[in-house]
Chain A
Amino acid sequence: MRKRKRTGWRRYVNGITISTTVTVLFVTLPLYLMLASSFKGAKGIGSAAFYPKDFSTSNYNNAFSQYTFARYILNSVLIAVITTALVLFLSTMAGYALGRLPMRAKLPVMVALLMISVFPAIAVIAPLFLLMKTIHWLNSYQALIVPYTAFNLPFAIWIMRNYMLGIPKEMEETSRIDGAGPLRTLWSIVLPQAKPGLFTAGIFTFTACWTEFLMALSFNSDNNFRTIPVGTALFGSPFTIPYGTIFAASMVAVVPIAILVLIFRKSVVSGLTAGAVKG
């Protein structure tokens, strides 16, 4: 087939570039407006200007000086990191067992996990709250770490299991013949090859913990245990909403996630498409 070569402006203005631009703008514009507004002064905050006319960093200062934003960051980091570590450890073990080891009732387990992962969190908030109250876990780190781990595990297990399935069985058999036990095989042979799966599951879990609002609001009312989303939402007083400070805090909250995704983006993409085509 003869392909017509586009020249001049036609090279850039075509269906694909236009639709790509629209999509990218659609996604990034709110983020940009948030960024721009976070640098606006008190006067400019109400305007819809695309750039801050009265550039100031006071919003950022306020977030840290007027509110305990640093504490929220610390709480969020602690909870997200511990949860992610737990989820990765457990999902690796479970994924290996479900993908590789001889085991009865694999299918029912996998289906049950899938069902749990689509269960709406709001449905379990009330009973969970009562449970937390009974065991005196309200206002603690574990009040969020344990349910976050439970809610993020199913998806992570599915990702890890699918990854394990993609690793040739002969590799584990070779390792067994070489004299490695199951745990050594998992650690030295399987895990290094399942890295993209680990990154994918890790980033999804971390992001989910980082942005979770409902449980964090319900279980931890003590300011010392609040995470970024709840803490930021409660900025201000009943009569004023400090939009600029909220924007600034939100920008700070986005940074770790953005960095993680930038570092691991290749692995995440390959993790999501694992098994789509035989490599």
Chain B
Amino acid sequence: MATVELESVRKVYPNGFEAVHGIDLEIADGELMVLVGPSGCGKTTVLRMIAGLEDISAGVLRIGEKVVNDLGPKERDIAMVFQNYALYPHMTVAENIGFALRLRKMPKDEVTRKVGDAAKILGLTPWLDRKPAQLSGGQRQRVAMGRAIVRNPSVFLMDEPLSNLDAKLRVQMRAEVSQIQRTVGVATVYVTHDQIEAMTMGDRVAVMREGVLQQCDTPQKLYDHPNNVFVAAFIGSPAMNLYEAAITDGCAAVRIGTQELPLPDRARAAHPGLAAYAGKPVIVGIRPESLPAANGSAAGVMTAQVELVEALGSELQVHFSIDAKRVIAEGPSDADELTTSGAGVARVGPHVPAKLGDPIRFAVDIDAMHFFDPDSGGAIWN
């Protein structure tokens, strides 16, 4: 049981590439911290530095008060679960789980007992004599977990442990991993690129981009108060709609494309910093659920063109376009090239009559609107 503390931890490769730019992070005892970000953001490098599989170029790494920068992996008292499980194919499940204990020269009957206990927690008891090749993906995943928990380490490290599983099993294992982590109560660093996994599993989530920690907070706070455009776009599915806009009318309205939406007093009170942007461009962010279909002609209604309707049963996801310029925070991807410049997504009730090519009117929830500085990308609050 221990805490993990990263203090201005940097990773510079011999070729000069800086993969991690000075990260500060503190993981409390028993906490499940998720590192999330697009591929190449440095999250796995951070994990591998904690594990001792990569050297730390600068900064301090503490595990339970002890500086471990120069300690090898085995002296750090950690356990790691890899994406491809890395089970030893020539050993049975029991041998796999007990390998670390046997290395410590633990008496045979104690190894057997501990392996049995771990197997019971993970529901692996019937498969202890099988080889990994005879197991299903989910079972292999559990063996990898078993190998980690049997050692009773101070820290768990997990590198995208669920990404090799099919979608249904992933959802099931997500819950199982969280539950096991809570049962064992060990500080855990969990790396994933899947923001849904991050949101559902993490006590706190650290969002990374290009080696820089963007924001670290509880999932709900990340969702409600993203620090910048990147976090806003990355967290949430479907992603937040981000458009170039301008604060007009002496901070009484926001103009998105050719449409102007009034900014009520309470919105201005929630974002006092907006006053400084009167007459200036900003980036506005609107979550898909903040765009319910409008009935009547109240103020704050935005009209858009329906491009695609996806019926999910409980709701409709309406892909629309408006005449504003869309802001892409994560860099261009193939999907973005297919969409029009003012594209966006709204989640509306299942019975809203949205038809392809028709105009649709949204009653924008101004209170839930986000504002960002167009130059820095930072959120505008105060």
Measuring CB to CB, which residues of chain A are less than 8 angstroms from any residue of chain B? 168, 170-171, 173-180, 184, 188-189, 192-193
Contacts and interface: CB of A to CB of B under 8 A. Distances in A.
A193 B100 CA distance: 18
Given A176-B74, A177-B51, A178-B74, A170 B103 contact: no
B103 A177 contact: no
B301 interface: no
Interface in B147-191: 147, 151
Given A171-B88, A192-B90, A176 B147 contact: no
B276 interface: no
Given A177-B51, A193-B89, A193-B90, A170 B74 contact: no
Q: Most chain-B CB neighbours within 10 Å: which of A170, A174, A179, A193?
A: A174
Contacts of B100: 178-179
A170 B82 contact: yes
A175 B86 CA distance: 9
Given A170-B84, A193-B89, A179 B104 contact: yes
Interface string B80-98: 1011101111100000000
Contacts of A175: 88, 99
Sorted from nearest, which 5 A-B pairs have the closest CB atoms? A170-B86, A178-B100, A179-B74, A192-B90, A170-B82
Given A179-B104, A189-B88, A174 B82 contact: yes
Q: Is the interface of B mostly helix, strand, loop or mixed?
A: loop
Contacts, number: 52
Contact of A179 (B82, B84, B103): B103
Given A192-B90, A193-B89, A193-B90, A177 B74 contact: yes
A193 B87 CA distance: 12
A174 B80 contact: yes
A178 B99 contact: yes
B273 interface: no
A193 to B, nearest CB: 6
A177 B73 contact: yes
Contact of B103 (A171, A173, A184, A193): A184
A188 B74 CA distance: 16
Q: Most chain-B CB neighbours within 10 Å: which of A173, A184, A189, A193?
A: A173
A174 B100 CA distance: 10
Interface residues on B, range: 20 to 34
B272 interface: no
Q: Most chain-B CB neighbours within 10 Å: which of A173, A174, A175, A177?
A: A177
16 contacts: A168-B86, A170-B84, A171-B87, A174-B80, A176-B73, A177-B51, A177-B53, A177-B74, A177-B79, A178-B74, A178-B103, A179-B100, A188-B99, A192-B90, A193-B89, A193-B90
Interface string B225-238: 00000000000000
Nearest to A189: B88
Given A170-B86, A189-B88, A193-B89, A177 B80 contact: yes
Nearest to B103: A179
A176 B86 CA distance: 12
A155 B100 CA distance: 35
A146 B104 CA distance: 39
Nearest to A169: B86
Contacts of A188: 99
B278 to A, nearest CB: 55
Contacts of A180: 74, 103
Interface in B41-87: 51-53, 72-74, 78-80, 82-84, 86-87
Given A173-B80, A177-B78, A178-B103, 6 more contacts: A170-B83, A173-B51, A175-B99, A176-B74, A177-B52, A178-B74
A269 B51 CA distance: 38
A180 B104 CA distance: 9
A214 to B, nearest CB: 40
Nearest to B48: A173
Contacts of A176: 53, 72-74
A127 B78 CA distance: 57
Contacts of A189: 88
A164 to B, nearest CB: 15
Contacts of A179: 74, 100, 103-104
B90 A173 contact: no
Contacts of B52: 177
B53 A174 contact: no
A184 B100 CA distance: 12
Given A178-B103, A179-B100, A171 B86 contact: yes
A174 B132 CA distance: 15
Contacts of A193: 89-90
Contacts of A177: 51-53, 73-74, 78-80
Contacts of B72: 176
Given A168-B84, A192-B90, A174 B74 contact: no
A180 B75 CA distance: 11
Nearest to B101: A178
A190 B103 CA distance: 16
Nearest to B72: A176
B104 A173 contact: no
Nearest to A172: B86
A236 to B, nearest CB: 51
A177 B68 CA distance: 14
A168 B86 CA distance: 7
Contacts of B74: 176-180
